[in-house]
Amino acid sequence: MKGVDHLAHERNKTEFDVDAMKIVWAGSRHAFELSDRMARLVASDPAFQKDGRIRLGRKELFKNTLRKAAHAWKRILELHLTEEEAGWLRNFVDEPSFTDLHWGMFVPAIKGQGTDEQQQKWLPLAYKMQIIGSYAQTELGHGSNVQGLETTATFDPETDEFVIHSPTLTSSKWWPGGLGKVSTHAIVYARLITNGQEHGVHGFIVQLRSLDDHMPIPGITIGDIGMKFGNGAYNTMDNGVLTFDHIRIPRNQMLMRVLQVTREGKCVKSNVPRQLIYGTMVFVRQTIVADASTALARAVCIATRYSAVRRQFGSQDGGMETQVIDYKTQQSRLFPLLASAYAFRFVGEWLKWLYTDVTQRLQANDFSILPEAHACTAGLKSLTTTATADAIEECRKLCGGHGYLCASGLPELFAVYVPACTYEGDNVVLLLQVARFLMKTVSQLGSGKKPVGTTAYLGRVQDLLQCCCDVQTAEDWLKPSVVLEAFEARSARMCVARAQNLSKFENPEDGFAELSADLVEASVAHCQLIVVSKFIDKLQQDIPGKGVNRQLQNLCYIYALNLLHKYLGDFLSTGCITPKQASLANDQLRSLYSQIRPNAIALVDAFNYTDHYLGSVLGRYDGNVYPKLYEEAWKDPLNDSVVPDGYHEYIHPMLKQQLRNARL
């Protein structure tokens, strides 16, 4: 049987309406139609082809990215695409570039932190790309510790200007994307100093390069920070270094929604909390959660299709060997990742809703939900990016040797994805933020303050500390209330235990530092509970399409029960479940794998990825893996000649030497 036939046969086994699932995955019919149209537009345009990208040198690679970004912008204008359509188009071009920072951080920073007048001035320029912006926060010496940034913005009342300066080597801005070679402007984060007094870190709009000849503004030193991990991958991005030598900008270029500096240099606080300065990070962390499901789904799609095509062992009487997807070990590694892709999709949807809700409340001067929004975006960003980076690597291994070939698409996907664990907040640093939020919530329980939102379960802490799981059969693990209670009890018990340990320290900060590794574990438990509960909420919605809800249920329980299996230590040591119940959960998990098995290919087809976007020979829709892999190998530049360059200098003399030695 040819690869093509393998997948056709697989698709015939499907037990649900794939088209309906495509809409569930996309979020709505509108989102499906729009993303589908944009994916096809990009895939059919030769200017966006990705072949051979990994073989390009840095300069060629970068220029190629500039070409694609310019072509994308041209098409956006020609086709009068909406902002939403343009976002999808850029997404399917699938190449990190300065436009990510421009649209993803520069524009949102002005929207979130700029006054109305500042927005009116700068946004139209940015929307027309008459200026290109970056987000320059991190410095050589400080990234996580934002309050430790060293760049200064000193107000000069004589000229009504700020003087932006880099006082030390470690104050050099370092990492901002798009900064190295492209951006004309940046939101620069610097310590505000007026009348000799410091007022914390704030954002300033600073022009970096001339709009005529692209030369840096005198006093600005700027360049690229060098090659990063992997071929191709994130090297399409010009992450930059930037220093200021007393650069002057007008006073009205400080983003002043949170704090205004008057003509006299007086600081006037608005009613907006200081934390809004961090608002852009909250926005981007929320988009990163949605992106995690996309990246994870790509890897899972490749590994699932290839696992159905690949055969090893088990041939009897010269018959066919076993498809590797039929090995239980393969299923137990692959299907939880498939389930995670769906789980992260739905929690991403919910987080987007939460963010929209927060934004509306902020506009109405209601800031009460900000700490929760910060904890959720930070925690879920950390949880989903860590899991996705690990999962891409697992998918590579699931594809055996061929997964290590760049033609599988997985090495580049890993290299381009893995920095998501670091940018927008190191994942451990973010979990520590969640831990602070949880400990604060627990400490306030005695005062009668009722926790709300994602921590509402902590309001039932007494019940959760005592509850006993009443699972008696494997089927009992298919009850949403049972699963939810087990995850709530585990998280609540971990939080309370950590809070009790913290209370033994005289100085809470010393306690927090000493117990930080334990605290991070509690944060993970809490975030996993959020993902499980949002998946369960999704199942309660009226989801049309034959068999769709059934598949989603199976995936939801696979996600939850696999976590239960993986973190069994937590569940057992906190007494949430017994060893016998854990064993029943495992029995149920195996049964769920068998139920998912015939639907696996259709479940990855529901992602609706084009072959162009997947960029993988192993993950091709038609399953025609071997002939294409063979074809691909011959495209390697090493195969341009039969006898390689270097033969005459290095191989031939060595062989001759051996011959001479042998004769002696």
Ligand X SMILES: Cc1cc2nc3c(=O)[nH]c(=O)nc-3n(C[C@H](O)[C@H](O)[C@H](O)COP(=O)(O)OP(=O)(O)OC[C@H]3O[C@@H](n4cnc5c(N)ncnc54)[C@H](O)[C@@H]3O)c2cc1C
Which DSSP string corresponds to 610-656?
-HHHH--STT-TT--HHHHHHHHHTTSGGGGSSSPTTIIIIIHHHHH
Of the candidate spans 132-140, 297-305, 384-392, 528-536, the one that interacts with ligand X by CB under 6 A turns out to be 132-140
Q: Is 138 annotated as a binding residue?
A: yes
Amino acid at site 65: T
Residue 371's binding partner out of ligand X, ligand LEDWP2DD, none, with CB under 5 to 8 Å set by partner kind: ligand LEDWP2DD
Q: Is 265 annotated as a binding residue?
A: no
- For ligand X, the closer of residues 135 and 342 by Cβ is 135
Give the x-and-dash track for 89-118 against ligand LEDWP2DD (CB under 6 A): -----------x--xx--------------
Residue-wise over 613-638: b if at least 16 C-beta within 10 A, else e?
bbbbbbbbbbbbbeebbeeeeeeeee
Question: In this structure, are residues 236 and 57 in contact, taking their beta carbons and an 8 Å threshold?
Answer: no
**Residue 92: CB minimum distance to ligand LEDWP2DD, A:** 12
Going by C-alpha positions, the residue among 149, 152, 136 that lies closest to residue 186 is 136
Of the candidate spans 246-254, 307-315, 423-431, 566-574, the one that interacts with ligand LEDWP2DD by CB under 6 A turns out to be 423-431
Which parts of 238-267 interact with ligand X (CB under 6 A)?
Answer: 239
Chain-centre distance of CA 95, in angstroms? 15
Question: Distance between CA atoms of 121 and 130, rounded to whole angstroms?
Answer: 12
Question: In this structure, are residues 466 and 492 in contact, taking their beta carbons and an 8 Å threshold?
Answer: no
Structure tokens at 172: 């050099």
φ/ψ (deg, to 5) at 220:
-110, 130
- For ligand X, the closer of residues 234 and 437 by Cβ is 234
Structure tokens at 558: 């696979």
Amino acid at site 483: V
**Residue 227: CB minimum distance to ligand X, A:** 12
Known active-site residue 424: yes
- Helices then strands, counting H and E runs in the chain, come out as 24, 13
φ/ψ (deg, to 5) at 476:
-60, -25
Rule CB under 6 A: say whether 426 interacts with ligand X.
Answer: yes
Residue 564's binding partner out of ligand LEDWP2DD, ligand X, none, with CB under 5 to 8 Å set by partner kind: none
Going by C-alpha positions, the residue among 370, 521, 503 that lies closest to residue 443 is 503
Rule CB under 6 A: say whether 428 interacts with ligand X.
Answer: yes
Structure tokens at 538: 């999704």
Residue 370's binding partner out of ligand LEDWP2DD, ligand X, none, with CB under 5 to 8 Å set by partner kind: ligand LEDWP2DD
- Which candidate in 424, 509, 514, 521 is catalytic? 424
Of the candidate spans 262-270, 274-282, 464-472, 595-603, the one that interacts with ligand LEDWP2DD by CB under 6 A turns out to be 274-282
Question: In this structure, are residues 370 and 355 in contact, taking their beta carbons and an 8 Å threshold?
Answer: no
**Residue 5: CB minimum distance to ligand LEDWP2DD, A:** 39
Which residue from 25, 92, 234, 278 is in contact with ligand LEDWP2DD, where contact means CB under 6 A? 278
Which residue from 361, 436, 460, 565 is in contact with ligand LEDWP2DD, where contact means CB under 6 A? 436
Binding residues with ligand X: total (CB under 6 A): 21
Give the x-and-dash track for 121-160 against ligand LEDWP2DD (CB under 6 A): --------------x-xx----xx-xx-------------
Question: In this structure, are residues 177 and 101 in contact, taking their beta carbons and an 8 Å threshold?
Answer: yes
- For ligand LEDWP2DD, the closer of residues 414 and 487 by Cβ is 414
Q: Which residue sits closest to ligand LEDWP2DD, CB atoms considered? A: 104
- For ligand X, the closer of residues 101 and 471 by Cβ is 101
Which parts of 41-100 interact with ligand LEDWP2DD (CB under 6 A)?
Answer: 87, 100
> If you search the block for the tokens 């220093």, which residue do you land on?
243
Rule CB under 6 A: say whether 286 interacts with ligand LEDWP2DD.
Answer: no
Which parts of 137-176 interact with ligand X (CB under 6 A)?
Answer: 137-138, 142-144, 175-176
Task: Check residue 103 and report its DSSP letter.
Answer: I
- For ligand LEDWP2DD, the closer of residues 137 and 323 by Cβ is 137
Which DSSP string corresponds to 173-239?
EE--TTTTTT-SEEEEEEEEEETTEEEEEEEEEEE-B-TTT-PBPTTEEEEE----STTTGGGGS--
- For ligand LEDWP2DD, the closer of residues 56 and 429 by Cβ is 429
Structure tokens at 52: 């051979």
Structure tokens at 100: 């990510």
Question: Distance between CA atoms of 486 and 470, rounded to whole angstroms?
Answer: 10
Dihedral Cα 438, 444, 448, 452, nearest 10 deg: -30
* Number of Cβ atoms within 10 Å of the Cβ of 505: 14
Which positions are annotated as active-site residues? 424
Contact positions toward ligand X, by CB under 6 A? 101, 135-138, 142-144, 175-177, 234, 239, 419, 422-423, 425-426, 428-429, 432
Give the residue ranges of the annotated binding site for FAD. Answer: 138, 177
Contact positions toward ligand LEDWP2DD, by CB under 6 A? 87, 100, 103-104, 135, 137-138, 143-144, 146-147, 177, 275, 278, 281-282, 284, 287, 370-371, 374, 423-425, 429, 433, 436
